[in-house]
Structure 1
Amino acid sequence: MTSGVKMGQIEWAMWANEQAIVSSSIIILGGILGVAGFFKGWEIGIYAIIAGVLNTRENVSEILYETFELLWACVQELFLRFIMHLILCIPMCFILATIMGGISLFTTAMIYLVAAFKGEEWKPVGLEEKTESTAKKDAKSFRQPKMPPPRAPPSANQI
């Protein structure tokens, strides 16, 4: 997730990702309440449901990558994630049903901002190139032992 993080340091970007998932569930619930409760401005509830669902979908990132590779490169930048989440949270602060989700998404944006200032960067998992030394380590396997290890004969005191 991050590069050069030492033991005991906080990985802010990872925390922001977890906060974004929690925010999405709060946003979806608030959106449902906003639409079902016929709040004034219930259209924001529909926006909140769509934003919450899109924020939790892993497939969205794959679709973005395939169709908008330049946009995907920008989304990888934590400062731009801060801006994106900040813009997403603004409409949710206009009705009572979605204000908690908006505040939660604002918190997510602030954590992304801290991660950007700390110099963390997002790297996709599983796309690392294998070097020759890691390929040899992966190919090496241990065989199951055929005989039990030798044991000392029991002494008269143990019997």
Structure 2
Amino acid sequence: MTSGDKPALGRPAPAFRARNQHGQDVTLADLQGAPAVLIFFPWAFSGICTGELGAVRDELERFTELGARVLAASCDPMFALRAFADAEGLEFDLLSDHWPHGALARAYGVFDDEVGVARRGSFVLDATGTLTWSLDQGIGEPRDIAAHLAALAAPAS
């Protein structure tokens, strides 16, 4: 069961403040002025998550060419995310949604209450912080990162 309603497309993204793997605060306001891709994942070091975030790492130049900042969020603690980023060569922000546990995932409607982690939710925000695309998949369902790039490159409607 997922808690919280998923935010509506065409509406402002829910505000947030979270620490990245380096202990730096990142807020929704920090993203203003450029598009952003926010990817929720259940667990650092798990097979599917490692593969997905490795695919993001491998396509990071394409995300950058589209002017986007990539952020990935999980309920893992900051230090686990730092170890994960270092081990996998992830050079984008990994946001810790550890405490209050799952608050960010709940705000975006992708927290799984039964398991206690974020589902595989993804959100594309435009330069004004408006949600333009989203995806919500189960914990065991890998995402297609190419779909994220296509959504980012799609002209605004």
Q: TM-score, normalised by structure 2?
A: 0.28
Which structure carries more relative contact order (alpha carbon 8 Å, separation 6+)?
Answer: 2
Going by fraction, where is strand more abundant, 1 or 2?
A: 2
Whose Rg is larger? 1
